[in-house]
Structure 1
Amino acid sequence: MSTHPNAPKRGLSAYMFFAKEQRENVREENPGISFGQVGKLLGERWKALSDKQRAPYEEKAAADEKRYEDEKANYNAHEDDEESA
């Protein structure tokens, strides 16, 4: 994995899209909850979702993975150009 600051960021997983969307709801429903407890509740909610309920997050993850692959290919092409110059 490259540590170059201009390297593209990896795509997010379906769970990460779900967690980003739901984190604030969990915090509002459970005032004073710790970071670890938020993660635990998010994990439980994710496991409880049906395949149909997960589908929008899976689609976002697939699109983000494609974005990453495209950006990585472009980044690597430019890195190769700079190395051969």
Structure 2
Amino acid sequence: MRLSAALSLTIYLNPHSPRYNRAKESKFLAQNAAIDPVVEETNGQAYMPDPDVSVKNSNGIMDNLRDKYNKKLMQQFDFFAPEIAIRVDK
């Protein structure tokens, strides 16, 4: 089976995962240039809600981001990008 040249995969670390630190040290993720949202936020390339904000409440997330970054005009967009989550037991 051959994959299309247009297919790409981006791996993002989950900073809220209890295995975040282990994932950062993973050889597989290091070799495949996983993106760390904490680093991106530090570099001013990403906005990230505080960990105590429920991801089930999109209005709460947006309110938190507006307050945290002092941005009054923010809009949530959904680009309908496919997402795959893989959970690995210990």
Q: Which TM-score bucket, shorter chain as reference?
A: under 0.3
**Structure number, greater radius of gyration:** 1
Q: Name whichever structure is richer in helix by fraction.
A: 1
- Considering Cα pairs closer than 8 Å and 6+ residues apart, tell me whether 1 or 2 has the greater RCO: 1
Q: TM-score, normalised by structure 1?
A: 0.21
